[in-house]
Chains A and B, each alone.
Chain A
Amino acid sequence: FLMSKSRFNPYEGNGGTTAGVAGDDFVVMASDTRLCEESTYVVSSRNYPHLYDLGNSSVLAAAGFNGDVIQLIKLLYIHGRRYLYQFNKEMSITARASLLERVLYQHRGFPLYVGNLLGGMDEEGRGALFSYDPVGSYERISYIADGSAAAIVLPFLHNQVGLRNMADAGAAPRLTKERTVQILKDIFVSAAEWDIHCGDSLLIKMITKEGVAEETMALRTD
């Protein structure tokens, strides 16, 4: 009887679905803007985007436990400023990617419960996208989805961006920024239909060498 006492749980899921696609000269990052309490099925906010600008046209998509997301963003911001003041230039995306891995692994014993996608332009002008697990394991990847509806978004990206599982894919045209945005809009509509924690609206950030542009789209609110 005493064994089954419920202990204080320091974590809670706060929903959020994120995705990123890296092209030859752009990266598109997307997230829904719903913040919810997964255990009580309450929507806390309909306008809480999960994309964060970290500087130098890099964007972090972070969803998971909101308390840890906030902490992580603060840590990355401070590290970014320290680097800027010490070296008089912004961190490159590869440096930022490596930093994020270090920050996450430093919390290996009490993880930051956050699924991260880091996007930005690399030093050769190509789109760079990195995907992380909560304790820092990362790889550079050309497209990925994370968060509560990842299982809905990722297979679609495999098919439309990765051109997988098609009988005769043939030679596909080079992926453009506009087509990528359309793909993400389409799949997030489905994600909002089929995942209870996804919805309200979609925020898309398009990163190019010119900087970061934004677009939003309404999603189902139920």
Chain B
Amino acid sequence: RSSQADYHRTASDVHGGTTNMIDEMSARPIATGSSVVGMHFKNGVVMASDCRISYGSLSRYRDFTRFIKVNSDTVCVCNGDSADFQLLERTILEQVRSDEIENDGIQYSPIKLHNWLTCVLYNRRTRIDPLWNNFLVGGLQDGKPYLGMSTMLGQSWTAPYGATGFGKHMSIGKMRDFIEKHGVENITEEMAVKIITECMQQLYYRSTDAANEIEIYVVSGDGCKSEKTTLP
């Protein structure tokens, strides 16, 4: 079976593992996306990222979506290398298409995607040829909000809040405080979107690779909707 997206074939496999340059090819991310943030609310999850891809200090792509909408219950978003992201995007969407063709009612859910991503990322890390992305997988799992983090080293956990990159330092505290003060069951979609927007605003102010064109995904009982806004 030939697959368009051979995420399991590392650079060494493709080129026969001959030169030292191969070892260093994946040692750093090239075109990168900035932080992503996400949190639970009463009926689902809210996740946000900006739309910029940086090439070092150059703002290379200004309207790039780092979200993958898998189905109406499952969304994932990542930071880090955009080429690695696009490889996984192709792979995931190909699997979704295979599931549609199979047409047996089995669909992706957040926990399945999260576990699969963790396996892939861990496997690549173990070959010392990582996919340089940290993922946030969110959605509704059995009707309940689900947010899982999967890092480029294959670490994996679930929590009511999650962030990657700079967001780890700046946004987690804010989301955590809000959730611990109100309780997830008292947080409405509007409140969550407001907090997430404030997090993205702070990131835009303080992180050099963040931008003010942001994309917000809300996954709830009403399905999955996305919105692009520009922060002031």
A interface residues (Cβ-Cβ under 8 A, vs B): 7-8, 10-12, 14, 35, 37, 40, 42-48, 65-67, 70-71, 110
Contact = CB atoms under 8 A, between A and B. Distances in A.
B164 to A, nearest CB: 10
Contacts of B122: 67, 70-71
Interface string B114-151: 00001000100110101000000000000000000101
B55 to A, nearest CB: 20
A45 B168 contact: no
Given A8-B26, A42-B168, A47 B155 contact: no
Given A8-B26, A12-B155, A42-B169, A70 B126 contact: no
Given A7-B27, A67-B122, A44 B154 contact: no
A40 B168 contact: yes
A120 to B, nearest CB: 26
B207 interface: no
Interface string B149-168: 10101111111000000001
Give the one of A8, A12, A46, A48 with max B CB within 10 A.
A8
B172 interface: yes
Nearest to A47: B159
Prevailing SS type, chain B contact patch: mixed
Given A37-B168, A70-B122, A70-B154, A10 B159 contact: no
Prevailing SS type, chain A contact patch: loop
Contacts of B130: 8, 10
19 contacts: A8-B27, A8-B128, A10-B126, A10-B130, A10-B153, A11-B153, A12-B153, A12-B155, A14-B155, A37-B168, A42-B168, A42-B172, A44-B155, A44-B157, A44-B159, A45-B159, A46-B159, A47-B159, A70-B155
Contacts of B151: 67
Contacts of A48: 157
Interface residues of B, number: 21
Contacts of A11: 153
Contacts of B153: 10-12, 65, 67
B156 to A, nearest CB: 6
B53 to A, nearest CB: 21
A162 B157 CA distance: 36
A123 B180 CA distance: 45
Q: Which are the 10 A-B pairs with shortest beta-carbon distances?
A: A67-B154, A66-B155, A45-B159, A45-B157, A42-B168, A67-B155, A67-B153, A8-B27, A67-B122, A48-B157
Nearest to A9: B153
A91 to B, nearest CB: 25
B147 to A, nearest CB: 11
A68 to B, nearest CB: 8
B157 A66 contact: yes
A11 B122 CA distance: 11
Nearest to A10: B125
Contacts of B118: 70
Contacts of B128: 8, 10
Contact of B149 (A7, A44, A71): A44
Contacts of A46: 159, 176
A65 B157 CA distance: 12
A8 B26 CA distance: 9
A14 B157 CA distance: 11
A1 to B, nearest CB: 15
A37 B155 CA distance: 10
